[in-house]
Each structure stands twice: as structure tokens, then as C-alpha cells.
């Protein structure tokens, strides 16, 4: 095995070990137990406990038990707004994401919706897409995050990446993010899903449980990404060795490190190393 492949394999194993750690020990469906009493009514706490009942088999999974999903959405929205002004909620965006059971890693049965800033405090699943554009000679386009970003300013990232909105198909989410972040015209790239990563770990905002869909695409030499939404500082076209070196130095975000390495592993034919290949 080449030195490049050995490095990809070693880094992937190291990051996969860091990506899935045991879930929150408390058997409540959200991460705010330390401030709950000061912000939400007892009836709302009882509602959450009864609506999101934890499975006995999987402590990190829950069952949605509300008969009226509309009422559940309204109650979740009301409870979320009580936290909006606290230091427990980070980067409120007025964007809705799907709420799913923890073991629904394909978002096949959405239960309700919630403001994206509340997903990590509540330890809910989020779904993300990441784009790895490769040139025919094996180089990859990557992006430096804007220094104005709330999370990971100035770090390196996939050429395009972002969360999947409520009710949004993964393919359309990837096209939207590719256009917003890299100026890619929808339908102009032949995108393939190469892998699916599951990340479950504590973060500043609470608990991150994210299912990331990794997308690879081949681009011609004439391809030059350009940012549309102000979230990217600049793009670079790099050899795999240069990307690996930056990942080793911690210059990529954790999520993009995994996504980029998965793309490189796919490119090198190391499919047996991927978390869940060819989804």
C-alpha cells in the first residue's frame, strides 16, 4: 500500500474513533437539564418527556409518541423560543430541520420540525451533505471558511457543505449548497454519493449527532468555484498530499476532515475503510 493510502487509512481510523462516542448519559431528550427549570414550565418538561420516549434497547434513540405532530411542532417551537435568548443557543437562523428518531439515519420518517439552532441542545439528528470535486488528475477543490463564520472561522472545509433542510431531498440539498457556496449551476455536475458518516459527540452547543452524506464529482480543468453567499474566504485546488498535511495539522474542521478523507479513500479504492460506502 502506498504512503498516501497508509496515511488516509490511519487518519480515517483516528477520526472515526473520535466521531462516535457514547451518547449523553441522561435519559432525557434534550441537553438543557441544567437550565430547564428556569426556562420552561413543568407542563412543557412533561410534554417533552412523554413525546420523546427513549428506547430501552438503545439509550441514545427515542420514539416519537405524540398523536398530533402539528401540536408537537408548535410546542417544540414555543419551548425553543424560551431558550433563544440564552447562552445555551448558538447561531439562531430561523431555519427548520427535520426531527427524526436517533436510529433513522436516512431521514426516512421525519417526525416534526425544529429550528436548526436547537438540534444540538436537544441532541437531535441533523443531516448534512459534503461535496468533494476532483479533477481528472486526482486533485481536489477545497474551501477556506469565511473569517466571519460563527463556527470554525478561517478553517478549511469541503468545496461546499451544509445541512439538509426540513423536507429537502439529499440531492437537492447538495445542489443548493454547491450553488450557494461554490457557484455551481444546478445539474452541471454528475454527483455520486460515496459514503455516509455518523458523528455523535459533545460540542459547545450540546450534543452533535450528524449523519453526513459525502458526495464526489469529477470536474474539468475549466471548473473554478466562486462563492455566492459570503461564507467562503477562498478556494484552492490541492494535491491529496497537501490536503492530508493540512488535516494532520488540524487546519480542517473535524466534520470536513472526515468528509474529505472519505472522498480521498473512495478515490483511492479504499472502500473497505469507509464508515458506510456507496450509499
Res 23: pLDDT: 62
CA 128 and chain centroid, separation: 4
* pLDDT given at position 34: 44
Tell me which residue has cell 439538509: 164
Instruction: Please report the pLDDT score of residue 32 as a whole number.
Output: 47
Give the separation between CA 215 and CA 238, rounded to whole angstroms.
Answer: 18
Q: Are 262 and 11 in contact (CB under 8 A)?
A: no
pLDDT at 80: 80
As a whole number of angstroms, the distance between CA 231 and CA 234 comes to: 9
Q: Using only C-alpha atoms, what is the Rg of the chain?
A: 19
Which has the closest alpha carbon to 191: 101, 244, 239, 263?
A: 263
pLDDT (tens, 9 = 90+) of the chain, 279 residues, equals 799 999 999 999 999 999 887 665 444 445 444 444 445 555 666 666 666 665 555 545 556 666 666 777 777 787 787 777 666 677 788 899 998 877 788 999 888 888 898 888 777 889 999 999 999 999 999 999 999 987 889 999 999 999 999 999 999 999 999 999 999 999 899 888 778 899 988 887 778 889 999 999 999 999 999 999 999 999 999 999 999 999 999 999 999 999 999 999 999 988 888 877 655
The span from the first CA to the last CA of the chain, in angstroms, equals 25
pTM, 2 dp: 0.86
Cα gap 36→29, rounded to integer Å: 12
β-pair partners for 128: 163, 212
Amino acid at each position: 500500500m502506498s504512503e498516501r493510502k497508509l496515511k488516509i487509512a490511519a487518519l480515517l481510523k483516528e477520526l472515526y474513533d473520535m466521531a462516535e462516542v457514547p451518547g449523553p448519559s441522561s435519559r432525557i431528550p434534550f441537553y438543557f437539564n441544567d437550565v430547564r427549570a428556569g426556562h420552561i414550565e413543568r407542563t412543557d418538561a412533561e410534554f417533552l418527556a412523554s413525546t420523546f420516549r427513549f428506547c430501552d434497547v438503545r439509550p441514545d434513540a427515542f420514539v416519537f409518541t405524540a398523536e398530533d405532530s402539528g401540536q408537537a411542532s408548535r410546542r417544540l417551537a414555543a419551548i425553543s423560543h424560551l431558550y433563544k435568548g440564552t447562552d445555551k443557543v448558538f447561531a439562531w437562523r430561523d431555519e427548520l430541520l427535520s426531527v427524526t428518531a436517533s436510529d433513522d439515519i436516512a431521514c426516512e420518517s421525519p417526525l416534526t420540525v425544529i429550528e436548526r439552532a436547537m438540534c444540538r441542545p436537544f441532541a437531535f439528528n441533523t443531516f448534512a451533505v459534503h461535496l468533494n470535486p476532483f479533477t481528472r488528475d486526482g486533485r481536489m477543490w477545497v474551501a477556506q471558511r469565511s473569517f466571519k463564520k460563527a463556527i470554525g472561522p478561517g478553517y478549511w472545509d469541503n468545496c461546499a457543505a451544509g445541512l439538509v433542510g426540513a423536507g429537502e431531498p439529499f440531492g437537492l440539498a447538495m445542489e443548493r449548497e454547491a450553488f450557494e457556496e461554490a457557484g455551481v449551476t444546478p445539474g452541471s455536475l454528475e454527483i455520486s454519493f460515496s459514503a455516509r458518516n455518523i458523528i455523535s459527540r459533545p460540542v459547545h452547543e450540546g450534543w452533535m449527532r450528524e449523519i453526513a452524506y459525502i458526495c464526489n464529482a469529477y470536474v474539468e480543468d475549466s471548473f473554478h468555484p466562486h462563492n455566492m453567499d459570503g461564507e467562503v474566504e477562498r478556494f484552492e485546488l490541492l494535491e491529496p498530499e497537501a490536503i492530508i498535511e493540512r488535516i494532520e495539522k488540524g487546519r480542517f474542521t473535524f466534520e470536513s476532515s472526515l468528509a474529505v478523507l472519505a472522498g480521498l479513500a473512495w478515490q483511492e479504492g479504499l472502500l473497505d475503510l469507509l464508515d458506510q460506502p456507496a450509499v
